[in-house]
Structure 1
Amino acid sequence: MSLLTVENLSKHYEGRRSLVERLTGVPQTVVRAVNGIDLTVEKGEILGLIGESGCGKSTLGRAILRLHEPTTGKVTFDGTDVTALDAAGLKAMRRRMQIIFQDPYASLNPRRTVAQIVGLPLKLHGLAQTDDEARAIVARICERVGLKANQLDRYPHQFSGGQRQRIGIARALVSNPEFIVCDEPVSALDVSIQAQIIALLLELKREMGLTYLFISHDISVIGYLADRVAVMYLGEIVEMGPVEAILANPRHPYTQSLMSAVPEVDHAGRRARVRLAGDLPSPLNPPAGCKFHTRCPLAVEACRSRAPVTETVGPGHSAACHRLAENLSLLEGTPA
């Protein structure tokens, strides 16, 4: 049984209208940030979610936790329908489902000490009987993530970016959760610090039996961490499968373009670089048919008029593309 199941999950936002638009009756625009997502996460695995900035990855992660209320769809965690929970039920569930935010500078309250920041979940969920017990728990989890006990009374501005992210990790772990959304937790850090944080997250997963939804725009990070990969484009999953299958045989042209961007040391055997046309379309006015067709070098007329269905292309491996039967690849040939 899957620990987490997401069914037809969507998150739409109403766009703002100017005064002139409101007076002239121009219809409200709708931003379809996440549109009809289906996925599962097995207990103990790391599901990597990858895509360009603006494709809806973070919105999906927050909608799963109901930090953003889903517009439609259902999220089931360990047999419980999270989308049907009332405020009290959702508060109790939040102890088991946590998030590590992308920005270690903006996600910490500058007016609170480390002890107050990390200890807040203990207070909210009644997990410590006394202040001394809470401080002892906070000290223990902070030391486990690489902070020192004598730093508990310091404020966030007194720490480096990597240390601040360790504070965020400690805050997520202090309530002893089972599932964590890692929302690009290393993208704002220097490369050397990224490696340390990734190693720490893997150690904590093994020690605490955690399950991760790991969001990133870097396929090399996902390839190192994840058991399975979901590729997201303009609010939809276009390919999903075991990490080995995705890296060795990406079937969707968008996944192939992401793969081509990974630096390779072996220049002689390097894949061809795929250069996509244009930028990511606006979710305010997404293209008809396949949303990727405006940038896809393999697009044909069917791509412009009909949305592709998701097809199975291998064990646990699926993709949504009109040209899957032709087994085309943008990665063949020599570098451009």
Structure 2
Amino acid sequence: MSALLDVQHLSKDYLGRRTLAERLTGAPRSVLRAVDDVSLTIERGEILGLIGESGCGKSTLGRAILRLHEPSAGRVTFDGTDVTALAPDVLKAMRRRMQIIFQDPYASLNPRRTVAEIVGLPLRLHGLAASEEEIRAKVGAMIERVGLKANQLDRYPHQFSGGQRQRIGIARALISNPEFIVCDEPVSALDVSIQAQIIQLLIELKRDFGLTYLFISHDISVIGYLSDRVAVMYLGEIVEMGPVEAVLSRPRHPYTQSLMSAVPEVDAVGQHSRVRLKGELPSPLNPPAGCKFHTRCPLAIETCRTVVPQTESVGAGHTAACHRLAEHLSLLDEAAP
């Protein structure tokens, strides 16, 4: 495999709402850093899973990679092209190759447009069909490929269930024949039974169309089932990354260990121990100094409070950022009876 996507030192900042004190004193507005110096690569044909708590910056990272949100710093290279340096007209053409499936199938579809109009829009924007008849034929074929019926093209989104709407969103993402898709929690808003169907559909589409995915989720079980590699995100930073088997079976960062300990194990009744974190996720408007995780970490030492940890190798393709990696500590082992 060859690298299709290369992200280097990507950051995304948002200006906070101006407070009364800032208005009175003339102080600059606070800055919320949603994504903080993230670097990663995704190989062609790979599924990279991205996990972390709600609010850690996963969706922002996915949208910044596509420049749906303009990055504040860093570089995104797609198939050798620096996406962050592209002019708007060139970026529009590049977006045919880079698509997104949104989380909410209710909010991501225009309620005033029919399925034919929604799914056919990318064909019109990129000039991928010579006539309206060709557009309708391509849309009908794609709709059937994602599990719906071609005779439903003239219906509106409100006439479909949540799972069917997500299939429409998937069809819209695929109609321009992309190579890379950001799957932004595409099953989290669906019933469990429907989730399994959509996950299987995404696997089949990846195989049939040769796709590469960045799959964003807070469900470790889904990530473990789908992904080739996994990246763990905390407060805008990647704290651990590596092959899915290595990260999920032997997590090296305390945050990853806490996430893994929260996964229910049906065959471990009475033996499963939970690693509980202290406190709440800090505000990205005022992140802790040093290691951002130190305010909740049971292994934190004084160095963690003042010094930012460097990312280190802990195995083949497996990296983590923690001051205590050298001690080979495992919270899961310590918590076991």
Superposed pair shares fold, TM > 0.5: yes
> How far apart are residue 142 of structure 1 and its match?
0.5
Equivalent AA in structure 1 for residue 140 of structure 2: A
Give the 3-state SS of the residue equivalent to 1:313 in structure 2.
strand
Q: 1:12 matched to which residue of 2?
A: 13
Rounded Cα–Cα distance in structure 2 between residues aligned with 1:129 and 1:208: 22
Q: 1:306 matched to which residue of 2?
A: 307
Q: 1:241 matched to which residue of 2?
A: 242
Give the 3-state SS of the residue equivalent to 2:3 in structure 1.
coil
Give the 3-state SS of the residue equivalent to 1:279 in structure 2.
coil
> How far apart are residue 24 of structure 1 and its match?
2.0
Rounded Cα–Cα distance in structure 2 between residues aligned with 1:206 and 1:22: 55
Map 1:45-64; keep pairs closer than 5 Å: 45-64=46-65
> How far apart are residue 334 of structure 1 and its match?
5.6
Map 1:114-263; keep pairs closer than 5 Å: 114-263=115-264
Contact 1:270 1:334 in 2 (8 A): no
Contact 2:275 2:335 in 1 (8 A): no
- Cα deviation, 1:18-46, whole Å, max 9, x if unaligned, reads 35522321321000100100000000000
Rounded Cα–Cα distance in structure 2 between residues aligned with 1:56 and 1:103: 17
RMSD: 1.2
Rounded Cα–Cα distance in structure 2 between residues aligned with 1:248 and 1:54: 25
Rounded Cα–Cα distance in structure 2 between residues aligned with 1:107 and 1:20: 37
Rounded Cα–Cα distance in structure 2 between residues aligned with 1:51 and 1:267: 24
Give the 3-state SS of the residue equivalent to 2:196 in structure 1.
helix
Rounded Cα–Cα distance in structure 1 between residues aligned with 2:197 and 2:268: 28
Rounded Cα–Cα distance in structure 1 between residues aligned with 2:269 and 2:158: 47
Rounded Cα–Cα distance in structure 1 between residues aligned with 2:272 and 2:130: 58
Equivalent AA in structure 1 for residue 193 of structure 2: S
Give the 3-state SS of the residue equivalent to 2:295 in structure 1.
coil
Rounded Cα–Cα distance in structure 1 between residues aligned with 2:234 and 2:288: 12
Rounded Cα–Cα distance in structure 2 between residues aligned with 1:249 and 1:265: 19
- Cα deviation, 1:194-231, whole Å, max 9, x if unaligned, reads 00000000000000000000000111110000000000
Q: 1:43 matched to which residue of 2?
A: 44
Equivalent AA in structure 2 for residue 171 of structure 1: R
- Cα deviation, 1:262-310, whole Å, max 9, x if unaligned, reads 1101125844211111111000000011000001111111111111000
Map 1:79-118; keep pairs closer than 5 Å: 79-118=80-119
> How far apart are residue 247 of structure 1 and its match?
1.3
Contact 2:52 2:218 in 1 (8 A): yes
Rounded Cα–Cα distance in structure 2 between residues aligned with 1:172 and 1:210: 11
Contact 1:44 1:209 in 2 (8 A): yes
Rounded Cα–Cα distance in structure 1 between residues aligned with 2:19 and 2:38: 31
Equivalent AA in structure 1 for residue 296 of structure 2: R
Q: 1:75 matched to which residue of 2?
A: 76
Rounded Cα–Cα distance in structure 2 between residues aligned with 1:22 and 1:268: 56
Rounded Cα–Cα distance in structure 1 between residues aligned with 2:101 and 2:168: 10
Which structure 1 residue ranges, 5 or more long, are not aligned?
A: none
Which structure 2 residue ranges, 5 or more long, are not aligned?
A: none
Q: State the number of aligned residues.
A: 336
Contact 1:264 1:270 in 2 (8 A): no
Contact 1:271 1:332 in 2 (8 A): no
Give the 3-state SS of the residue equivalent to 2:268 in structure 1.
coil
Equivalent AA in structure 2 for residue 173 of structure 1: L
Contact 1:272 1:333 in 2 (8 A): no
Contact 1:273 1:335 in 2 (8 A): no
> TM-score, normalized by length of structure 1?
0.98
